[in-house]
Structure 1
Amino acid sequence: MKISSKLYKSLFLGLVCWVGFTACDDKLDELNINPYGIDPTEVNPNLLLPGILASAAQSYTDLGVNNLAGAVQHTQKNGWFTGHNNYSWEDAGWGGWYSILRNNNLLYERAVTLDNDFFQGVSLTMKSFVFGNVTDLWGDAPYTDALQGDSDDTAYQYPAFDSQEVIYDGVIADLKSAVALFETASSAAVISENDLYFGGDVDQWKRFANSLLLRYYMRISSKKPDVAKAGVEAIYASGDYIQSSSQDAVLDYTGGSNDIWITRHVALNPDDFQRYQACQTFIDQLMGTSDPRLSTFFAPVRVQWVADESLASASEDFIRLDGEPLEVVTYAFDDFVDLYSGYDFTRRYNPEEVEYNDDMYVGLPPGLAVPSSYNGNPSPGQGTQNQHVSQLADTYMNEGGGILKSRLISAAEVSFIFAEAALKGWSVGSAETHYYAGIMSSLEAWEDQDGYDEFIAQEGVAFDNTVEQVITQKWVASWTAAAESFADFKRTGYPALQAGPLSPQPVVALRFQYGSDEYNNNSESITGALDRLELTDYSGGFGKDSQWSKSWLYQGTTVPW
């Protein structure tokens, strides 16, 4: 069951519920107390739930559509692109994640006070989801001492950084506790509209928690193979995990004021949408396997190049409509989309004089120095369209609805985890069965399931019994959820991504750098975390706190480079 995230409605319902549980205090002499404020010691958990769930999901999707989509080469940007295309992550702070954790900690405290197993389980699950992302991206981080700023002990104002190993162990322990709570939990006290993921369905929450456990068992599988193997096999035997796309953990975008899809087109200012363009690495994969998701993810080029060796010049300085010359070399973006949808625009070039990509779908190669000029764009510049490169499919211009969802974890991911586990020799069934189930679940999620039979018959898609193939299809399935593909690439080296020419280092980066707040306000604690990072040949001038240094999970390995 998937519940649309109508936040205002949820917050209103939560407030009504809270009012029903508390008494008003209208003493006129309490001038410093906000009469509309909520006492944290009395807040109803239903009031906290929507903000935690929405913020966590939207933050995860923002990573998967922006910087990490560039890192795993799903997309590239043609303007304001350094973070997206070239790993300029110096300002990637974690303040937003810890804000979510503070609210979530209040949810847990209230759930314990009220002796409510459901809210305790939800809180532990979301704590694990958020801390899992933090340690995936930064490495060591405040964990054990975090979220205790209200304590009288001043030491908690400067929380120590726990090792990445400690955090992963804690994430797994909390998820196991959450699963145990969901075994007997009741959702009777839950306002279903406020549970933006599952509408108060306890079984769905248990499947979600177990599926996250699978994610993190596989994450540590090289460091702690025995722990990972036992954990994955136990969950597989239980059957309590996400098994179909209808059970995916998602948050719908509805287009409300706090609920707008990340890349939506803004009238009179389409620049932001136009910056998102396909990466040629991803286009090569999709086109090379006749992937039915290609047109779901990307639009064809607005103007297709046509080779003409008889052309007297390198290229025409006009475009053609259904073969007939026009007096313009380009149209405004909105004209292509709104006025000329369905028309066949072309432009001729002489392949003896210039080399252009004349495919119907074209991506930007990763890490270009001047991406807006690529492939003969007649109107280069920050935020302008490139009529000769594929942008996002028109669906992603919308504010919400349809396939525009935050996808926290899916049946596709779970199936690919089991496929990889089976290839390791673990007792989880057939790798081939799980592999094909992962493809089908992804196609269903993107509403492309009708192309399944033809797709799996393609060379390179038909199962070949390799981890590389499993991770490659998992990479495709992680569209808009690139954080997981980024973690898989670091762990396995697949797909074999190559850094572009403007990358400061010749290999793909591994982590975010610590933010300035930590250096300015918690300098003593950060020292130990920096000492535990491993310098690599590519750490460069940043020293240990480099995007190319290795955290615990990847130390002692030769992956991904």
Structure 2
Amino acid sequence: MKNLFKFRQIAVFLLGLILVTGCDDKLSEINTNPYGIDPANANPNLLMPTVLVNSAQSYLGLGFNDLGGAMQYTQKNGWYGGHNNYDWVSTSWAGWYDILRTNDLMITRGEEMDNVFFQGIGLTMKSFAYGNIADLWGDAPYTDALMGDQGSDQFQFPKFDSQEVIYDGIIADLNQAATLLASASTESVTAGNDLIYGANVDSWRRFTNSLLLRYYMRLSEKKPDVAKAGIEAIYSSGIYIQDPSQDANLDYTGGSNDIWITRHVRLDPDDFQRYQACQTFIDQLTMTEDPRLPVWFDSVRVQWVEDASLDVAAESFIRADGEPIESIYTFDQFEEEYADVKFTRHFNPNMADYNTDLYVGLPASILTPESYNGNPIPGQGTQNLHVSQLDEIYSTAGSAGDILKARILSASEVSFIFAEAAMKGWNVGDAEMHYNMGIEQSLEVWGKADMYDDFIAQSGVMFNSTIEQIITQKWVANWSNGTEAFADYRRTGFPDLTAGPLSPQPEVAIRFQYGNDEYNNNSANLDAALNNIEITEFSGNFGADSQWSKPWLYQGTNIPF
């Protein structure tokens, strides 16, 4: 204790000495990191992987978590406020602006080095990041953003540009990126640091144009002439993602710091077990006998069986191939001992009501998801024996080239965009051809290409010339990419989703609230932006900054409500 006290005395003395004898330039020297790299000398090859990894993994995080819940792919049985019930209060966009700052430096260094490859992919990734910000929040800092180091209040407290201005800027930047990439060389580019395309310029051109397709379709109701001309031109060029081998994906290596979002089951099994199938999605997959169902979800571990002869509501034990074996509370202890055994549990349908299907999901936004369907051991993060969770691959797979990837944009999405465009009468080929191709490409991605012929012949899958069917199958194909499915839902109202009983409003939420940083540090510009958001009958006490208020893109429509 005496030594600690003397150390503190010395520290206080030295601090006082600095304050008394120091001057501004000396303090600046003290606060300069001698090991830091001058941004003017930054190597864009070293900036590129940070931009690509953080962009792809942030996108997956949104689409697999809260927006995966909103789109009713999954529900959680623990820590489920944001996932199940749209608890998106004060949602920060700081991560996206962190990506944009690094990306901005990559673009700047590309300009200084006269390297159009880095400029082109930088503009593409800038558009991707700003696109997500505009999609999810609405108005946001854009033209005055990323310039806080210039000192002016204008840049330290940037104004919010309208969602329309941001979308227009995205389209302009993507067109410029496409032009730059058309003449780009990969000289001086470290191919291994491009973790998406390995410095393949042709692939980046396809991705850039495909991202343009996404945002042209986003604007198809607000600016149909712009969208029509842009989509037709890209289709005519043939430079877009046409095959799953060209998808914009980020692989996971399976290393300790590079694992799929639910793969840390060995460290925290509760986290993996919180992910349960949503009944909405299960209904869609089972109705059409979708071959991707067993790739994405596991069947229930113990299937309910109706038995009216019971004198109790439900048995307190389980059965292996019909024979009673163990208490339900010790299931984990002996499951591995019974390979290829059918586990069941009987209940009296006159005294209880349970879902007897082999694949069972949690209904959206219910009060106690951890107890649903007679779970005998309810609790946050406990495995429900009677509800489907993610397939085992989502906890154990871990090698490069696995089907689990952070997917940014796919050939399947592009095909569905063209199918929708053809339905609008635009000159992009046949709607049915594109629709069928979108399904076939998705089946290929998930290892079920050999089942295409049988699947496409299903009555609920065979093309019926409706936008609803196109967007519904696009929703299915967008599994793990709930962010894009969320954008389609708000734009079209499809798939037809119903908010659950614990939702604060009877409709699915449509945007994120602005974060506390904006309220605390940029309130004047935030207030101006809030005036551009349309309050709806579901906005509630939050007013304009509600998850149920409408930014520009959805104003003047009754979609999705």
- What range describes the TM-score normalised by the shorter chain of this pair? over 0.9
Give the drift of 1:459: 1.1
Shift of 1:188: 1.6
What does residue 164 of structure 2 align with? 165
User: What is the correspondence of 1:119-130 to structure 2 with a 5 Å cutoff?
Assistant: 119-130=118-129
- Identity over aligned pairs, percent: 64
AA paired with 1:365? P
Moved more, 168-177 or 268-277: 268-277
Deviation at 1:254, TM superposition (A): 1.0
- What's the offset of the Cα at 1:354? 1.2
Q: Classify 1:279/1:41 alpha carbon distance in 2 versus 1 (closer, same or farther; 3 Å).
A: same
Q: CA deviation at 1:339?
A: 5.0
Partner of 2:370: 372
Deviation at 1:333, TM superposition (A): 5.1
Taking the aligned partners of 2:81 and 2:232, their CA distance within structure 1 comes to 42
**Number of residue-to-residue matches in the alignment:** 532
State the shift of 1:34 in Å.
3.8
Identify the residue that residue 312 of structure 2 maps to in structure 1. 313
Name the SS of the counterpart of 2:121 in structure 1.
helix
**Aligned 1:37-56 pairs, distance under 5 A:** 37-56=36-55
Return the letter of the residue paired with 1:403: I
The correspondence of residues 280-429 of structure 1 with structure 2, limited to 5 A, is 280-331=279-330, 336=335, 339-340=337-338, 342-398=340-396, 400-401=398-399, 402-429=402-429
Q: Which residue in the other structure is 2:100 paired with?
A: 101
> 1:259: Cα distance to partner?
1.4
**Structure 2 Cα separation of the partners of residues 115 and 150 of structure 1:** 24
Between the aligned partners of 2:302 and 2:384, the Cα distance in structure 1 is 9
Take 2:241 and 2:396, find their aligned partners in 1: how far apart are those partners? 28
Which residue pairs with 1:455 in the alignment?
Answer: 455
Where does 1:227-266 land on structure 2 (aligned, <5 Å)? Answer: 227-266=226-265
What are the within-5 Å matches in structure 2 for residues 30-179 of structure 1?
A: 33-179=32-178
Gap change, CA 1:335 and 1:94, over 3 Å in 2:
farther
The TM-score, its normalising length taken from structure 2, stands at 0.93
Cα distance change, pair 324–433 in 1 and its aligned pair in 2 (3 A): same
- Greater C-alpha radius of gyration: 2
Aligned-partner SS, 1:470: helix
Runs of 4+ in 1 over 6 A off after TM superposition: none
Aligned equivalents of 1:477 and 1:335: distance in 2? Answer: 36
Does structure 2 retain, via aligned residues, the 8 Å contact 1:254–1:399? no
Cα drift, residue 230 of structure 1: 0.3
- SS state of the match for residue 106, structure 2? helix
| CA deviation profile, 1:95-145 (whole Å, cap 9, x unmatched) | 000000000000011000001000000100000000000010000000000
Name the SS for the 1:266 alignment partner: helix
Equivalent residue letter for 2:377? S
Give yes or no for the alignment of 1:558 onto 2:558.
yes
> Using the alignment, how far apart are the partners of 1:339 and 1:325 within structure 2?
15
Q: Deviations over 1:404-448 (max 9, x none)?
A: 100000000000000000000000000000000000110111111
Change (3 A) 1:265 1:339: farther
What is the rounded CA distance, in whole Å, between the counterparts of 2:149 and 2:338 in structure 1? 59
Q: Matches of 2:293 and 2:213 in 1, distance apart?
A: 28
Partner amino acid for 2:395? Answer: M
Q: What is the CA distance between 1:36 and its match in structure 2?
A: 3.3
What is the one-letter code of the residue matched to 2:63? G
User: Any idea what the Cα deviations from partners look like across 1:447-467, whole Å, max 9, x if unmatched?
Assistant: 111111110011110000000
C-alpha distance in 1, partners of 2:403/2:247? 12
Task: Report the TM-score, using the length of structure 1 for normalisation.
Answer: 0.93
Q: SS of 1:326's equivalent?
A: strand
CA drift of 1:268 comes to 5.8
5 Å-filtered alignment, 1:536-551, equals 536-551=536-551
Q: Which runs of 5+ in 1 are unaligned?
A: 1-29
**Whole-Å separation in 2 of the counterparts to 1:341 and 1:142:** 57
CA shift in 2, pair 1:151/1:335, >3 Å:
farther
How far, CA to CA, are the matches of 2:329 and 2:434 in structure 1? 47
Bigger mean CA offset, 390-399 vs 456-465:
390-399
C-alpha separation in 1, matches of 2:420 and 2:315: 50
Q: Residue type matched to 2:559 in 1? A: V
Q: How does 1:175-254 map to 2 (within 5 A)?
A: 175-254=174-253
Where 1:451 maps in the other structure, the secondary structure is helix
